[in-house]
Structure 1
């Protein structure tokens, strides 16, 4: 058994490297104001701010700066700031423009659900028919870093995606796409010699040409063109769909400059696609991932300092005390009980089940993210958040599965006001929705107890529920 990091101190503010690259974190006042439609600071209660878009007790705007600062600090125990480590997306683009709840709500181009269009569909991985049986070889990693000793795994079940997304986007109807998709042959030839063509067919007779190219980084032999897959998805979007996610097992690319692309959303078209390929645990060894410091342990201060030191940044950041009973600390303690090495040294059946759930945990977070874009959520810069952009698998695994207070405010409004036609000023109804959503997510996480992300997330959710309920009781 390897020595386990104790994660004694948590990093809840951006790293020292963030300062080096010029990332300017939003101030406490800006972060709190970004959760409201008015753009002003809401009720000053950490639990309530994190629990709904506008809180749930006494309303107070224009509060004293020390009170704002304390509430913002308390929130960090549940919602830490973005880490901004070397090679992270925000390190490359530190000036990315924030999307507040106010700017999101005022955007006239975003899609709104209707009584006839309120279903989120998830389409299963297309079948590879015998006429294109050669596509099965495209699924096999070619990288010498791939661990050949890993067991053969079947792609995660569609029912698991539907169950998780039904809780994550609580209030929407989440269903499997009703048609079976198939990859079929395509007779047309590419005269340039750059591409090979296959078809993506639906049961009702539609078929779209999909380009395939040789993968430039050689991790997989061939990749499918992401734009072609999304065009096919647009053509099959059901009339009652608010949005649709399509899963593919093949590696994807977007344009000639890409090595690969794990997923993409066309927000205005209400479709997104996610590839399972790069998330497969068989690639972990080659990617040299630090599996001991994936979320929630990605906020371990010793780990963050080590990452900064590798980039020759040795200046530390100030320590912020985090209670042992806080959601983040509780999540780390729970997730740390799940040991990757112990699961892998178990029987082949146990190891295979563990790896398949691990694979699913990575994928479903990305599917949730891409569907978030279909709900017109932009990349988040306010907190470490499920809607934060990433540059690769290492950063992807450091991001949380939850929505931060700003992004959560948008979903609350989308469901309670636009979907359920509720009163936008009814904070009690919004708080009730938040608790229902948290509870639904906590219950669905119970399905996958063998993976740290779900175990940690469930404990984080239970801790958040307790905080919000205690706050409501104090204000009642």
Structure 2
């Protein structure tokens, strides 16, 4: 195992810049916000540590990329930021996210609430779920896993056509595995900064996806035609667990982060690190490093305290519905469905430590 170490000066420049205008912009932040962000280049910080590399298959080694500091992010001519007319994130569910209607509906709401807290200040809206057939995408059976996959690029094309006028971006979520092109084995998600669209799959986050007993495997002979979407009618969906929810929140916010113009982080342990496999994705934290946090704050305009407090509220609110909202249920749905947030315990404790620094 090795670590990606940068000097204090390198990290300080990546966060603050040497551009006088950007330095001045940084100095106008609240004292508490700067105190937290400055932890990026403090060697004794217990909040933000270096990136650890475990094998040659890790993203940074296998996908060499130029690092993006705050100045490069700020000056990127292709970067898009929300405007007063376009401050909504739309979520489009493709297929079902749970093995019952009520579980699927609640899962989407949990993800919506998390996005509203993570991208604090923006509105998150849900579109009516659609079956795979509506997208008219290509699909295949993966040679390695014998599992159904849908074409990520075709889904992006479908979402681009559906993008509402007030949308900053529209993102698709699914429990069906994705592939970006024939030569690739799979992809967790894919996004287009230019078009403001993204598609993310949570299929590989189930506890048994890589098991030889995984129930989602299909026989190639079952596919009669490339236009016969009936093969998705009884598609296997993993059990909803706290780990599955945590992994889903990670992927969703990571990929939407790309739509805001944040590239893969190579500075510190951060949500925006790339990942080639589930083990590496699990090592990636839920939080943004100070450099990426400053980028997102610049794009959205939130107060860091407000954002962190919203994230804590989302974790603490374990109810299925938003406070004060009552929803009609069918007879078969007379069950309480608490939000499984056990896996978010360390994340909450970390946020509280950050709030202590900001509010000192």
Query: How far has the Cα of 1:451 moved from its partner?
Result: 4.6
Q: Tell me, what secondary structure is at the counterpart of 2:158?
A: helix
- The alpha-carbon distance between structure 1 residues 232 and 363, as it changes in their structure 2 partners (threshold 3 A), is same
Q: Which whole-Å deviations, capped at 9, do the CAs of 1:276-312 have from their partners, x for residues lacking one?
A: 211112226569xxxxxxxxxxxxxxxxxxxxxxxxx
The reply on whether 1:262 has 2:147 as its aligned counterpart is no
Query: How far has the Cα of 1:122 moved from its partner?
Result: 1.1
Q: Tell me, what secondary structure is at the counterpart of 1:410?
A: helix
Aligned twin of 1:164: 114
The reply on whether 1:118 has 2:90 as its aligned counterpart is no
Q: Which whole-Å deviations, capped at 9, do the CAs of 1:148-168 have from their partners, x for residues lacking one?
A: xxxxx9556111011000000
Which residues in structure 2 correspond to 1:244-393 (within 5 Å)?
A: 244-283=170-209, 355-393=240-278
Aligned twin of 2:75: 106
Q: Which stretch of structure 1 is more off in the superposition, 238-247 or 33-42?
A: 33-42
Query: How far has the Cα of 1:356 moved from its partner?
Result: 2.4
Q: Which whole-Å deviations, capped at 9, do the CAs of 1:28-60 have from their partners, x for residues lacking one?
A: 1111221125458877x99744635xx6xxxxx
Q: Tell me, what secondary structure is at the counterpart of 1:460?
A: helix
Query: How far has the Cα of 1:176 moved from its partner?
Result: 1.0
Cα pair 1:51 1:434 within 8 Å, conserved: no
Which residues in structure 2 correspond to 1:22-421 (within 5 Å)?
A: 25-39=5-19, 48-49=33-34, 51-52=36-37, 72-75=42-45, 77-86=46-55, 87-93=57-63, 95-126=64-95, 155=104, 157-177=107-127, 179-184=128-133, 199-200=134-135, 209-220=136-147, 222-283=148-209, 355-416=240-301
Cα pair 1:37 1:105 within 8 Å, conserved: no
Cα pair 1:121 1:176 within 8 Å, conserved: yes
Q: Tell me, what secondary structure is at the counterpart of 1:210?
A: coil
Q: Which whole-Å deviations, capped at 9, do the CAs of 1:46-82 have from their partners, x for residues lacking one?
A: 9744635xx6xxxxxxxxxxxx99x52133x101110
Cα pair 1:244 1:371 within 8 Å, conserved: no
- The alpha-carbon distance between structure 1 residues 159 and 256, as it changes in their structure 2 partners (threshold 3 A), is same
Aligned twin of 2:316: 446
- Structure-2 separation of matches of 1:275 and 1:127: 12
Query: How far has the Cα of 1:450 moved from its partner?
Result: 5.1
- Structure-2 separation of matches of 1:233 and 1:115: 22
Q: Which stretch of structure 1 is more off in the superposition, 374-383 or 95-104?
A: 95-104
Q: Tell me, what secondary structure is at the counterpart of 1:121?
A: strand
Cα pair 1:251 1:260 within 8 Å, conserved: yes
Normalising by structure 2, we get a TM-score of 0.77
Q: Tell me, what secondary structure is at the counterpart of 1:157?
A: helix
The reply on whether 1:460 has 2:330 as its aligned counterpart is no
Query: How far has the Cα of 1:218 moved from its partner?
Result: 2.4
Query: How far has the Cα of 1:260 moved from its partner?
Result: 1.2
- Structure-2 separation of matches of 1:398 and 1:456: 13
Q: Where in structure 1 are there 5+ consecutive unaligned residues?
A: 1-14, 56-67, 129-138, 141-152, 185-198, 201-208, 288-352, 417-429, 471-476
Cα pair 1:34 1:101 within 8 Å, conserved: yes
- Structure-2 separation of matches of 1:216 and 1:175: 36
Q: Which whole-Å deviations, capped at 9, do the CAs of 1:418-472 have from their partners, x for residues lacking one?
A: xxxxxxxxxxxx7xx00111111111112458555311111100111011211xx
Cα pair 2:91 2:125 within 8 Å, conserved: yes
Normalising by structure 1, we get a TM-score of 0.59
Cα pair 2:266 2:273 within 8 Å, conserved: yes
Residue of structure 2 aligned with 1:434, choices 300, 304, 308: 304
- The alpha-carbon distance between structure 1 residues 398 and 447, as it changes in their structure 2 partners (threshold 3 A), is farther
Cα pair 2:315 2:341 within 8 Å, conserved: no
Q: Which whole-Å deviations, capped at 9, do the CAs of 1:363-421 have from their partners, x for residues lacking one?
A: 111000000001010000001100000011011011100010000001111122xxxxx
Cα pair 2:35 2:357 within 8 Å, conserved: no
Query: How far has the Cα of 1:112 moved from its partner?
Result: 2.1
- Structure-2 separation of matches of 1:375 and 1:284: 32
Q: Tell me, what secondary structure is at the counterpart of 2:145?
A: coil
Q: CA RMSD in A?
A: 3.2
- The alpha-carbon distance between structure 1 residues 451 and 172, as it changes in their structure 2 partners (threshold 3 A), is closer
Cα pair 1:82 1:381 within 8 Å, conserved: yes
Aligned twin of 1:332: none
